[in-house]
Structure 1
Amino acid sequence: MRALAAAEIEGTWATVLTPFTENDSLDLGTLSDELDAIVAARPAGMYTHGTAGEFFNQTDDEWDAVVAMVAERSAAASLPFQLGASHSSPITALGRVRRARALEPSAIQVTLPDWLPLSRDEIRRTIEGFAHAADGVGLVLYNPPHAKNLLGAAQLDELCSEFPAIVGVKMADGDAAWYASMQAVFERVSVFVPGHHLATGLQHGARGAYSNVACLHPAGAVYWGKRSITDPEWGLGVERQIARFLDAAIAPLIARGYPNVTLDKTLAAAGGHLGDVSRVRWPHPTATTEEIARVRELAFHMLPEFLQPAEN
C-alpha cells in the first residue's frame, strides 16, 4: 500500500486489539473476525500495536503474525494501515521498523525507547535510525503521557523540522494554551488527539484520532468524527456525552488501578462489535463480566447519539 504524507493522515483510525485466549495464547481466529468488523466500519484506517494492542507484551513471532494478517486484510480491503513498531528496547524496535517497512504500510508508529530517559542527542539518533530503517515510509511518533521523555511543543517542532520522515504525532492534548502552543507542529505534521477529545481537537487544528472510543463502537466513532467536521456544535455535544459516560463507567475502573489497555478492551467487550477481545495478557488485569455488563448498560443509556449508527 502507498505510504501516506502528513496531509493525508486524518480522520478516525481504529486500533487493532490483540486477542488472547484463556491460556494467554495469541488468538488468530478472533483476530480475523475483529479485522472483518473493523473493515466493515470503514474507518480512515486501522493500526496495530498501540498500548491497547499490547506491543510491550508480545514475542517477535507473535508481533509478526499480527502485522502480517493486518497487512493482508488491509490491502485486500484497500484500507490504509499503520503498523506499531514500538518497544522499550531500541534494537528490538529498530528490527520491528525494518520488518514493518517490508509490509508496505501507510505509516509506521514508533515510541522513544523508554528503559532509560534519553538525552536530546539520543532522541535525535533514535529518530534518525528509525527513519533510515523505514526507508521512505513516514513515522508517526507516539508520545503517551507516561513516556519517560515527554516532548513539548518546541521540541516536537524541532524534531519534525529536522526529520521530514516524521509525518504524524500521536499524543494527549491539553487546554486552550496547549493547542495554541502546538500550532507550529499542526502546520508541519498530522497531530492526532485522544479519541474522546476528537471534536475539540478538530476545531483547534488536530487532524483526527487513533480512537479509543472506536473500541466501543467503530462505526459510531467514524460517523461522529465525520459529522463533527460539518456540524461542530453537534460534535461537541456528543463529546460531552462521551465525557459523562467515561466519568460514570470508566473512572471507577481507573480508580481500581486498571491500566489503559484494560480500559480499551473493556470498552470493546461492552460494545460487542469486535468479537471476544476482552482478555488482557498476564500480568495485567482483565475486567470482570459484571464490570463489562455495567459499562455496556451505561453506554446504552448515556450515548444515544454515539450509538445511533448501530440502529441504521
Structure 2
Amino acid sequence: MRPLDTRTLNGVWSTALLPLREDEGIDFRRLADTLDAVLGSGVHGVYTNGSAGEFHTLGEAEYDRLHDLVAERCTAAGTPFQLGAGHPSGQLSLDRIRRAAPLRPGAIQVVLPDWLPLTEDEALDALRRMAGAADGVPLVLYNPGCAKTQAGPALLARIAAEIPEVVGLKVPSVTVAEGLTDRFAVFVAGHTLASAHRAGAAGSYSNVACMSPAGAARWFAQMTADPAAALALEARIRAFLDAHITPLARAGYCDPALDKTLCAIGGWSGTGTRVRWPHRPVPEDRIPALRAAARRALPELLDDPLGPGTPPHM
C-alpha cells in the first residue's frame, strides 16, 4: 500500500487480537473471521502487535504468519494496515522490521529496546537503525505509558528534527507531544480521543474499537459532526471503564486481558478472553454482567448483539 504520512495517518485503528486455543496456540481461522468483521466495520485501519496483540509472546514463525494474513486480507479489502515489529530485544526488532518491510504496510510500528531504559542518544540511534531496516516504509513510535523508556517532549523534539522517517506516535497523552502535532500524527488511548482530537490528536490505536470497531468509527465521525455529543459520549465511556474495567486492572489483570474482555463485552467477535502464560484471563463468567452494564451505559456505541450468550465465529 502507499506509505502513510502525517496527513494520511489518522482515525480509529483496530488491533489484531489473538484468538488462542487451549494450548495457547493462535487460532488463525478465528483470527481470519475476526479480521473480516473488522474490515467491514468502517475503522480507518488495522494494526498488529501492540500491547493488546501480545507482541512480546510471539514466536518468529507466528509473527510471519500473522503478518502474511493481515497483509493479505487488508490489501484485498483496500484497508490501510500497519505492522508492529516491536520486541524487547533491539536485535530481534530489527529482524522483524526487515521481514515486515517487503509486505509494504503503510507504516511499521516500533518500540524502543526494553530491558534497560535508554538515554536520548541511544533512543535516537535505535530509531535511526530501525529506519534503515524499514527500506523506505515509515515508522510509528509506539510509546505508551508502560514503555520503559518514556519519550517526553525533549526527546520527541529531537526525533522530529533528526529522524524524518518517524511519522507517527502512540503516546499516553497528546500533551506529551505539545507543539508537534503538525510534525507527527499523534495517537492516544481510544477512550480519550474526543477530547484529545480537539487538542490536535490524529487518532487512536483504540481500546474502544476492541469493544466495538463499528461503534468506535461512528464515534470518530461524530467528533467532527457533533463535537459536544462526542465529548459527552467520552465522559460516559470513561465512567464505564472506571466503574467496571479499572477494578479488574487493580486486581492484577494485564492490559491484553482487559482488551480481550472489552472485545467479549462487545460480543462482535469470537476472540475469547484467554491470554498467554504467565498472565491470567478475566473469567468468562464475568462477561454477561459486564456486557449488560455496557449496553445500559453505552447503547449507541455497541453494535446490536448477535445473539444471547455465545459470541460469533466460535
Note whether the superposition's TM-score is higher than 0.5. Answer: yes
**2:114–2:148 contact (8 Å) kept in structure 1:** yes
- Deviation of 1:120 after TM superposition, in Å, equals 2.0
Aligned AA (1:49): N
Matched, 1:146 2:174: no
- Deviation of 1:161 after TM superposition, in Å, equals 1.6
- Deviation of 1:247 after TM superposition, in Å, equals 1.3
Aligned AA (2:282): A
- Deviation of 1:162 after TM superposition, in Å, equals 0.6
- Deviation of 1:209 after TM superposition, in Å, equals 0.5
Matched, 1:247 2:251: no
- Deviation of 1:82 after TM superposition, in Å, equals 0.2
TM-score, normalised relative to structure 1: 0.95
- Deviation of 1:122 after TM superposition, in Å, equals 1.3
Match of 1:133 in 2: 133
**1:110–1:140 contact (8 Å) kept in structure 2:** yes
CA displacement 1:156-201 (0-9 Å, x = unmatched):
121122100000000111xxxx63x633211101000100001001
Structure 1 residues not aligned, in runs of 5+? none
Q: RMSD of the alignment, in Å?
A: 1.2
User: Residue 169 of structure 1: SS of its match in structure 2?
Assistant: strand
CA distance in structure 2 between the partners assigned to 1:171 and 1:277 by the alignment: 27
In proportion to residue count, which structure has more helix?
Answer: 1
Match of 1:49 in 2: 49
User: Residue 30 of structure 1: SS of its match in structure 2?
Assistant: helix
CA displacement 1:39-63 (0-9 Å, x = unmatched):
0102110000000100000100001
CA distance in structure 1 between the partners assigned to 2:169 and 2:251 by the alignment: 30
Matched, 1:81 2:85: no
TM-score, normalised relative to structure 2: 0.94
- Deviation of 1:127 after TM superposition, in Å, equals 0.3
Distance 1:276 1:170, change over 3 A: same
User: Residue 274 of structure 1: SS of its match in structure 2?
Assistant: coil
Structure 2 residues not aligned, in runs of 5+? 306-314
CA distance in structure 2 between the partners assigned to 1:221 and 1:97 by the alignment: 29
Matched, 1:72 2:72: yes
User: Residue 140 of structure 2: SS of its match in structure 1?
Assistant: strand
**1:2–1:106 contact (8 Å) kept in structure 2:** yes
Give the alignment of 1:113-262 within 5 angstroms: 113-173=113-173, 179=175, 182-262=177-257
Overall identity of the aligned pairs, in %: 46
CA distance in structure 2 between the partners assigned to 1:253 and 1:225 by the alignment: 27
CA distance in structure 1 between the partners assigned to 2:65 and 2:272 by the alignment: 17
CA distance in structure 2 between the partners assigned to 1:264 and 1:278 by the alignment: 9
**2:88–2:115 contact (8 Å) kept in structure 1:** yes
CA displacement 1:252-281 (0-9 Å, x = unmatched):
211211111110000001111122332101
- Deviation of 1:225 after TM superposition, in Å, equals 0.8
**1:202–1:229 contact (8 Å) kept in structure 2:** no
Matched, 1:286 2:285: no
